[in-house]
Amino acid sequence: MKIIKKYAGILWILIGLVAGYFNIVVMGIPKFESGKQEDLVFAIINVCILTPIIVGGLITFGYYAISGDYNEDNN
């Protein structure tokens, strides 16, 4: 079970990196370049607020899974 948790941790980190790339490249940059005010507000909220929360949470969760913090060792 510990091996599965470590692989799941790696998967969570990769999902976090993909989500960061998607939020910045696909959802952020095209909205910055569109020139409309409502797109600019959406891009600022998405890139400056949502992306760090999403990426930070997923990568932290993956790190804890890899480091073994979720193991049920009863010492």
Contact between 5 and 73 under an 8 Å Cβ cutoff? The reply is no
Q: How far apart are CA 43 and CA 30, in angstroms?
A: 8
Q: Residue 64: how many CB atoms within 10 A of its CB?
A: 14
What is the Cα–Cα distance from 21 to 63, expressed in whole angstroms? 19
In tens, the pLDDT along 36-65 reads 999 999 999 999 999 999 999 999 999 999
Q: How far apart are CA 43 and CA 20, in angstroms?
A: 13
Give the percent of the chain with pLDDT over 90: 80
What is the span of the domain harbouring residue 55? 2-19+37-67
26 in any annotated domain: no
State how many domains the chain has: 1
- pTM for the full predicted model: 0.83
Domain annotation covers residue 46: yes
